[in-house]
Each structure stands twice: as structure tokens, then as C-alpha cells.
Amino acid sequence: MKILGASATLAWGMRNYVSISMLVSMALLGYEFKPGPTFAGLVLVNSLISAVTVVPDIINNFSQSSISLTRITEFLTSGDYTNYIQPVDKKLSDTHDILVDNLNVSWAGSSTPCVKDIDLHIHRGEFIAIVGAVGSGKSALLRSLVGNMSISGSVQMNPNVAFVE
């Protein structure tokens, strides 16, 4: 921690340290102090230090831009969206908004289901809350209902249903 504090002090005071060092060097070399050259030298040192202190920000911005470009390229070249949901059967659309039978949900890249054997019949106009402990599968269940996860089983849903996560 002491090293971090010392490096921060050194970095923040660099402009003053270099300016003082320049003036001491001029005095030791016997340079005659005149206002014009002395202030010109100080302005030059301060300008160079300002330019050098921007370099880490430039490197950081370049790195972030590169990462963002990679993510955007990955998104734009990804495959088409796969909708795993079937529309609600016409006969059931008058009574139900969501019909789920024997639903098993797995996260991408996992063969083990995180939600198993769910049967859910939600009637038209019902207000439902999915509650449970952290990691119990609430988000996985909701994402499977909107078609964002790989599922096995039957899910039929009215397209006019709203979800809040």
C-alpha cells in the first residue's frame, strides 16, 4: 500500500518535480536566469508532461474500442435467432395465455437442465409472480418462456403476454 501511495504522489507531483529539477540543473550549470528563457522552458516542460500524462488514457481508450469492435463484430456475424416457442393453439387461446408441459431448460453449453419437469397453465388475465431463492431457476424459466433458451418439452404462448424480470 505504501508503494501505491508513493507512486501516486510521484505521478501527481511529476510536473512540479520536473520543473524544480530543470531550475536546479540550470542553476548548477551556471545558467543566467532571465524571465524569457526560464518561463519558456517551464512552459515546454509542462506541455510535454501534459502530453505524456494523456498516453495512458489513449491506450485505455484504444483497448476499450478494440474490445467493443470485437463484440459488435461477433454480434453482427452471429447466427439467426432461433425461436423455440410455438404459438398458442387456436382452441386454447380463448382460455389460456401460456401452456407449458414437461419443460426442461438448459443454459447454453450445458447438458444438465437447470429447470426440470415444469407444467404451467396460465389462464387469460391472470397475474403471476415467479419467486424463489437465488439460483433456483426463475430467470431460466422466464427466458425459456420468451424463447431465449434451449428447451425440451412443449411451450405455447400468446404473443401478447408481458414479462418483467
Per-residue pLDDT of the chain (165 residues; tens, 9 = 90+): 667 666 666 666 777 777 788 788 888 888 887 888 788 878 887 787 777 777 778 888 999 999 999 999 988 887 766 655 556 555 566 777 788 888 888 887 777 888 888 888 888 888 888 888 988 888 888 888 777 777 788 777 776 777 766
**Residues 70 and 94 occupy one common structural domain:** no
Same domain, 71 and 90: no
Residue 19 lies in a domain: yes
Q: Domain check: are 138 and 96 in the same one? A: yes
Domain membership of residue 165 (yes or no) is no
Pair (92, 137) in one structural domain: yes
Amino acid 140: pLDDT = 84
Domain-located, residue 163: no
Look at residue 67 in the predicted model and tell me its pLDDT: 94
For residues 98 and 165, what is the distance between their CA atoms, to the nearest angstrom? Answer: 17
- The verdict on 70 and 132 lying in the same domain is no
8 and 27 together in one domain: yes
Assess whether 70 and 13 both reside in one domain. Answer: yes
Q: How far is CA 36 from the centre of its chain?
A: 51
Same domain, yes or no, for 72 and 110?
no
Residue 65 and residue 112 in one domain: no
- How many domains, in total, are found in the chain? 2
From start to end of 53-129, where are the E strands?
86-87, 96-106, 115-123
φ/ψ (deg, to 5) at 119: -115, 125
- Do the strands 96-106 and 86-87 form a parallel or antiparallel pair, or are they unpaired? unpaired
Q: Domain check: are 59 and 92 in the same one? A: no
What is the pLDDT, as a whole number, of residue 53? 74
72 in a domain, yes or no? yes
* Position 140 in a domain: yes
- Same-domain pairing of 8 and 43: yes
Same-domain pairing of 108 and 57: no
Q: What is the pLDDT of residue 93?
A: 62
Is 46 a member of any domain? yes
Q: Is 145 exposed, middle or buried (0-12, 13-18, 19+ CB in 10 A)?
A: buried
- Domain that residue 94 falls in: 86-157
| pLDDT at 64 (0 to 100) | 93
